[in-house]
Structure 1
Amino acid sequence: MMKQLYHIEPVFTEALWGGQQLIEKYGYQTDLANIGECYNVIAMPSHLDCTVTETQEPLSHFYDTHRELFNCDTEIMPVRAAMSCTRAPMSVQIHPDNAYAMAHDGRLGKPDGVYVLDGEGSVVFGHFARTRREFQSLVEEQRWDQLLRYIPVKAGDFLDMPFGTLHALGAGLTFFEFSQNSDLTYRLYDYDRTMLDPKTGKPRVLHQEKVIECVNIPDAERKPALQKAWTTKGCEIHELHNEPGLYTCGRIDVAESGTYKREEFYFLTCIEGEGTIQDTYIKGGETVFVPCHYGELTITGTLSLTYVTYIKP
């Protein structure tokens, strides 16, 4: 199959904590009222699956039938990327590791990273319990102020969230999430909200027993991750996370023109500005797929892009 750039169409879901910020910022077309997630890259058949514009295939099928464009040996397309906005706080939650997730839910776990695009506030990022028994007691007694660890965040911060990290994004944030290709979340606490979940039409389900089994204990004090940054060939590059076998991600800023190259496949999402990649126009909110071994890309315009890719372990 010819190596070209491919547009990836997003998938939207509602959430109790969602809002209209992504629609207002990027002009997305959707009838959903409170956008929780805009999945820019996801490939989960019969669940959440982006469409490849040029071939009109679900991304999962595109991966299965065009492996030469990925040079990747994972059973499913390995990475995921999504934008979210929070009108209200997200539930306090974790993502399990692969072994636990497969044994209990038949799916992969979801280590992820959150890059704050806009806003500032506080997030739940870890906990204070020293033992699993103490964690369970604090949950049963609903002593959330003694259990949950909060830290301040602002635009430009990156939060690395390995398997089992207790977390919850606060209200008033817009952020980009990178992860393994999964959508598995265990909720611990949802602030006693009584509204129905727009995804299911039912009260939100909690998974407290699973969280107690999977949460990292003891939990080290956490803060936003350090970022590697360098400038080359007109591109200012910020490497946010690099973990072979899981996901690698970052940000590319271009002021007028630049060139970028890597050997792995990758997805680029425009988060600010507009311009062209090769001869392909891209504006805020849009995503393109770049096949492996594509060669050097010429990027023209004033724009910021995120990238997500997979490096073999």
Structure 2
Amino acid sequence: MRKIFHLEPIYKSFVWAGRKLIDEFGLDQNMDKIGTIYCAIAIPGDLDSIVREANEPLSLFYARHQELFGCSEPDFPVRMTITCNEGFQSYQSHPDDAYALEHDGCRGKVSGAVALRESDHVGTWLFGHKASSREEFRELVYAKDWDRLFDTLEVRDGDYVHTPAGVIHGGWGSGIVSATFGTNGDLTYRFYDNDRNDPNRPLEMDKVCDCASFPELPFCAERVKPIKTEGILRYDYHDIDGEYVAKKFKVGGSGSYSHDSFLIMTCVDGSGIIDDEPIAKGDTLLIPCGYGEFELKGSMELIAISYHEKSGDTQ
């Protein structure tokens, strides 16, 4: 279908949020602080992006028009957000789909993140653990011996970090605005929350231990080199069948691109046109599967997410 759709953003405040996203994107709304802008998400009854042209949530639009997405998953498969952590998040992990569906009746989350602005600044992320067993993990948590428990990862602004299900992460934010990509879930298991004791943010040590790997999974920060074509720099961050496809585009002038599945694109800087559709900072467009080649014009940066089914899945 040669039609482009608009997705309306969802803004959500968190205890660790601040005003940086409000100022960065010039948001005119009544919230004092925002932690996450949900560009595309489809969790019915909770976080569900509105498709403007259909005036219906993305989860329903997907169910009614699966031919526009080119996959046969029963539910919309991916999510994309812009996030800025300006406080203490929590120490946490996310389950995979199998565990989340069995224990909580919803999807888990596999995700990745990249700072929107590249720089030489190197931050230290709390990422992974050093415990050799579940018993040692529990002992170190109860003792709050974070130095012995946590591993860290040196990340330069602009590096891409993929977070497999079960990997321990969280803690103090750096105030860096990041794009996050992942599977379409919003389930978090926390094991320490800065002694807040908030009933809306329960601690679930047993689930964290069930989902963690001993020893921890290997991980790294990746500096992705852009692919240059006329007028466009394209960053291919992640493309794993059954997980998600994550990209970024820097447009300076004009160029063209096509994708073999649907593509959701959010403008994170500047403005321009995708075919005949204007797009400005903060706007999100859905380009359906089968749309074919489209033209990108302007001076802008776009983040994008898509999905490929696992080999053997039917469409």
- Structure 2 partner of 1:159: 161
Q: 2:263 & 2:278 partners in 1: Cα distance?
A: 17
Counterpart residue type for residue 234 of structure 2: I
Q: Contact (CA 8 Å) 1:16, 1:34: kept in 2 or not?
A: no
- Structure 2 partner of 1:185: 188
Q: 1:29 & 1:207 partners in 2: Cα distance?
A: 36
Q: Choose which of 295, 303, 311 in structure 1 pairs with 2:292.
A: 295
Q: Secondary structure at the match of 1:216?
A: coil
Q: 1:286 & 1:183 partners in 2: Cα distance?
A: 22
Superposed displacement of residue 188, structure 1: 1.7
Distance change (3 Å), C-alpha of 1:302 and 1:66? same
Describe how 1:1-313 pairs up with structure 2 within 5 A: 2-118=1-117, 121-168=123-170, 170-193=173-196, 202=199, 204-220=201-217, 222-313=219-310
Q: 1:27 & 1:72 partners in 2: Cα distance?
A: 35
Q: Deviations over 1:177-196 (max 9, x none)?
A: 101111111012122246x5
Superposed displacement of residue 285, structure 1: 1.4
Q: 2:258 & 2:285 partners in 1: Cα distance?
A: 15
Distance change (3 Å), C-alpha of 1:120 and 1:57? farther
Q: 2:158 & 2:110 partners in 1: Cα distance?
A: 20
Please report the TM-score for the alignment, with normalisation by the length of structure 2: 0.92
- Structure 2 partner of 1:199: none
Q: Contact (CA 8 Å) 1:270, 1:303: kept in 2 or not?
A: yes
Superposed displacement of residue 222, structure 1: 3.4
Q: Contact (CA 8 Å) 2:167, 2:217: kept in 1 or not?
A: no
Q: Contact (CA 8 Å) 2:271, 2:280: kept in 1 or not?
A: yes
Superposed displacement of residue 220, structure 1: 4.6
Q: Contact (CA 8 Å) 2:162, 2:219: kept in 1 or not?
A: no
Superposed displacement of residue 203, structure 1: 5.7
User: Structure 1 stretch 295-304 or stretch 122-131: which is displaced more?
Assistant: 122-131
Q: Contact (CA 8 Å) 2:21, 2:35: kept in 1 or not?
A: no
Percentage of pairs with the same residue:
38
Q: 2:122 & 2:191 partners in 1: Cα distance?
A: 24
Q: 1:157 & 1:207 partners in 2: Cα distance?
A: 30
Distance change (3 Å), C-alpha of 1:295 and 1:203? closer
Q: Deviations over 1:263-299 (max 9, x none)?
A: 1001001111111111111111111000001111111
Q: Contact (CA 8 Å) 2:128, 2:150: kept in 1 or not?
A: yes
Q: Deviations over 1:77-128 (max 9, x none)?
A: 1110011111113211111111111110011110100111247633211111
- Structure 1 partner of 2:313: none
Distance change (3 Å), C-alpha of 1:76 and 1:238? same
Counterpart residue type for residue 262 of structure 1: H
Q: Secondary structure at the match of 2:226?
A: strand
Q: Contact (CA 8 Å) 1:69, 1:291: kept in 2 or not?
A: yes
Please report the TM-score for the alignment, with normalisation by the length of structure 1: 0.93
Q: 1:233 & 1:260 partners in 2: Cα distance?
A: 10
Q: 1:121 & 1:191 partners in 2: Cα distance?
A: 21
Task: Give 5+ residue unaligned stretches, structure 1.
Answer: 197-201
Q: Secondary structure at the match of 2:24?
A: helix
Counterpart residue type for residue 163 of structure 1: A
Q: How many residues align?
A: 306
Q: 2:27 & 2:6 partners in 1: Cα distance?
A: 15
Superposed displacement of residue 208, structure 1: 1.4
Q: Contact (CA 8 Å) 1:235, 1:260: kept in 2 or not?
A: no
Name segments (4+ residues, structure 1) moved above 3 Å.
118-121
Q: Secondary structure at the match of 1:262?
A: coil
Q: 2:46 & 2:63 partners in 1: Cα distance?
A: 16
Give the alignment's Cα RMSD to 1 decimal.
1.7
Superposed displacement of residue 153, structure 1: 2.7
Q: Secondary structure at the match of 1:245?
A: coil
User: Structure 1 stretch 143-152 or stretch 242-251: which is displaced more?
Assistant: 143-152
